[in-house]
Structure 1
Amino acid sequence: MVQRIDRDAVRDLIDGRDARLLEVLPRAEYEWAHLPGARHLPLGELDGRVAADQDPSRPVVVYCHDWMCDLSARAAHRLERLGAGEVYDYPAGKMDWLAAGLPYEGHAVLVSRVMRRDPVVAFPEDPVEDLGERILADPAGVAVVVTREGRIVQGLVGSGELKDAPPGAAAEQVLCHDITTVRPAESLEGLLERMDGAGVHAMAVTLPDGALAGLFVTDATRPPESDPDL
């Protein structure tokens, strides 16, 4: 029986059982971005030969675009019917994977490839005086991301907020709350246009639950060489 699984289960199957990944979207979408090591196999090309080619000792994980796309469910059930063995459907698809900032392959340049994964962070109660020192010590020297438990983003503190801060103030008293955030799966080109139009130079990158994933600054033109996920 085909089982529907989430992102964490997909990662467990990859790491623990060397699962095979199959993307069943059209070629152009696959080439844009796909999960690492995934094979491209459109729904219309699934047949008995494909099923017979699957190593029965390795689970097969089928995915498509997102929850609104039904290709993965249809493909997974067809593979099982053709005798492929242990088949799983990842219904949230690659947009769920990309939104989590996980590694991917393809020609897409997404925010996850250029964001800083180690931005300067602070808690709401931290003294403003400390934040200035942290910004100066940071190579990017742009802003501090203020977070709460679970790294949930509360806002940013930049040079403007530091300049206007009263003596003895805490981060939560001066931070900019109404910041626009961006997801790791957004196209870099589109983001740069938005930031240029708004006159913004730094943007917090968050996961769908509001947790901090990184910080994007407009001079980040390529992934850091030290990033182990790229």
Structure 2
Amino acid sequence: MVQRIDRDTVRDLLETRDAQLVEVLPGEEYGWAHLPGARNLPLKELGARTAAELDRSRPVVVYCHDWICDMSPRAAPRLERLGFGEVYDYTAGKMDWLSADLPYEGEAILVAGVMRRDPVIAFPDDRVAELEPRIFADPAGAAVVVLREGKIVQGVVGPRELKGAAPDATAEEIMSFGVTTVRPSEELTGLLERMDRAKTHTMVVTRTDGTLAGLLATDVVRAPETGPDL
């Protein structure tokens, strides 16, 4: 019987069971981005001939675009009918993987490939007197990302928030809360265009669980010509 699994289970199967990854989306979508090492067996072409590329002695993990996409739930029982004994459906799909800032292959130019992974951070009780040197010593001159336990993003403190703030005020008292964030899976070109229209120079990048992945600063980032080197 097909088992539906999450991202952590996928990673465990890859590491401990040498599982095979199969993307069942059309070739164009596979070429855009896919999980490392995944094969492309489009659902429309899935049959005994194409499935012969797989090793029946190893677990098979199928996936498609996201949890709304129904291609992997349809492909998994098809593989079972073709004689594969251990088939798993990664129901959240590759957008879940990409949003978690995990490695990928393909032509996509995503935020994950260019964001700063070492942004300046602070905690809610840090004082303004401590924050100012961190911001102005930062080459990007961008902002301090305020985090709580577990690296959960709470807000940002930049030059605007610091203006007029008392030296003993805390980051929590002056930060901009509820700031707009993007995922590492966001396509870079479109995001840079939107940021330009909004006259926004920095964007906090978070994973789907709210943890900090990085910071995109348009003053120091330019769209690369090729995807990230994995």
TM-score scaled by structure 1?
0.92
Q: CA separation in 2, counterparts of 1:174 and 1:52?
A: 60
Residue 148 (structure 1) shift: 1.0
Does 1:175 pair with 2:178?
no
The residue type equivalent to 2:105 in the other structure is: E
Q: CA separation in 1, counterparts of 2:120 and 2:57?
A: 45
The alignment partner of 1:129 has SS state of helix
Unaligned 5+ runs, structure 1: none
Q: CA separation in 2, counterparts of 1:151 and 1:5?
A: 25
Residue 153 (structure 1) shift: 1.1
Aligned residue number for residue 194 of structure 2: 194
Q: CA separation in 2, counterparts of 1:121 and 1:186?
A: 22
Unaligned 5+ runs, structure 2: none
Task: Summarize the alignment of residues 7-46 of structure 1 with structure 2, pairs less than 5 Å apart.
Answer: 7-46=7-46
Q: How many residues align structurally? A: 226
**Deviation per residue, 1:45-102 (Å, 9 max, x gap):** 2222344442233211000011111110111110111012211100100111111111
The residue type equivalent to 2:191 in the other structure is: L
CA RMSD of aligned residues (A): 1.8
Q: CA separation in 2, counterparts of 1:48 and 1:178?
A: 51
Aligned residue number for residue 63 of structure 1: 63
Contact 1:58/1:86 (<8 A) preserved: yes
Contact 1:52/1:83 (<8 A) preserved: no
Aligned residue number for residue 111 of structure 1: 111
Residue 42 (structure 1) shift: 0.6
Aligned residue number for residue 185 of structure 2: 185
Aligned residue number for residue 162 of structure 1: 162
Task: Summarize the alignment of residues 132-171 of structure 1 with structure 2, pairs less than 5 Å apart.
Answer: 132-171=132-171
Aligned residue number for residue 83 of structure 1: 83
Contact 2:110/2:188 (<8 A) preserved: yes
Contact 2:23/2:63 (<8 A) preserved: yes
Q: CA separation in 1, counterparts of 2:54 and 2:190?
A: 39
The residue type equivalent to 2:180 in the other structure is: T
The residue type equivalent to 2:221 in the other structure is: A
Residue 178 (structure 1) shift: 3.9
Aligned residue number for residue 215 of structure 2: 215
Q: CA separation in 2, counterparts of 1:87 and 1:108?
A: 28
Q: CA separation in 1, counterparts of 2:78 and 2:103?
A: 28
The residue type equivalent to 1:77 in the other structure is: P
Residue 135 (structure 1) shift: 2.3
Contact 1:52/1:84 (<8 A) preserved: no
The residue type equivalent to 1:103 in the other structure is: P
Contact 2:31/2:106 (<8 A) preserved: yes
The alignment partner of 2:182 has SS state of coil
The residue type equivalent to 1:54 in the other structure is: L
Aligned residue number for residue 73 of structure 2: 73
Contact 2:119/2:214 (<8 A) preserved: yes
Q: CA separation in 2, counterparts of 1:128 and 1:193?
A: 33
The alignment partner of 1:213 has SS state of strand
